[in-house]
Amino acid sequence: NAGVTQTPKFQVLKTGQSMTLQCAQDMNHEYMSWYRQDPGMGLRLIHYSVGAGITDQGEVPNGYNVSRSTTEDFPLRLLSAAPSQTSVYFCASSYSGEGSALHFGNGTRLTVT
């Protein structure tokens, strides 16, 4: 199994550009989520989904959109990139239920100039 796959691994954007970070999982997990990791701030939840067609906001959703048209895919869209969105982005997934561990992808390092 590939687990959680994120693409691209690295990306440089200019302010105002838009792009989509891709996330796919092959474990048939119901839950998927996006976190950003910043030095001194830890991991913060951006958006999450409890199943296909259902999404909700996390702690820091502004400037980001998500959709969940299939169980496998959960793309994160940056609408108009800002330098404050420079970060490492992680996608994660798990089965439902409080006994299920969270599985992470290897991250996308995004720089906005």
Partner 1 sequence: KQEVTQIPAALSVPEGENLVLNCSFTDSAIYNLQWFRQDPGKGLTSLLLIQSSQREQTSGRLNASLDKSSGRSTLYIAASQPGDSATYLCAVLNYGGSQGNLIFGKGTKLSVKP
Residue with Cβ nearer partner 1 (31 or 64): 31
Measured distance CA(58)–CA(61) in Å, rounded: 6
- In the complex with partner 1, the residue whose CB is nearer, 18 or 38, is 38
Which residues contact partner 1 by CB under 8 A? Answer: 4, 31-33, 35, 40-43, 45, 48-50, 56, 58, 90, 92, 94-107
CA distances from 91 to 15, 69, 82 (A): 23, 16, 20
> Which residues have C-beta within 8 Å of that of residue 103, sequence separation ≥ 6?
3, 4, 25, 27, 29, 92, 93, 94
Nearer to partner 1, 27 or 82 (CB): 27
Whether the ω angle into residue 8 lies within 30 degrees of 0, i.e. cis, is yes
Q: How far is the CB of 67 from partner 1 (least distance, A)?
A: 15
CB nearer partner 1, residue 14 or residue 40: 40
CB 15 → partner 1: shortest distance, Å?
25
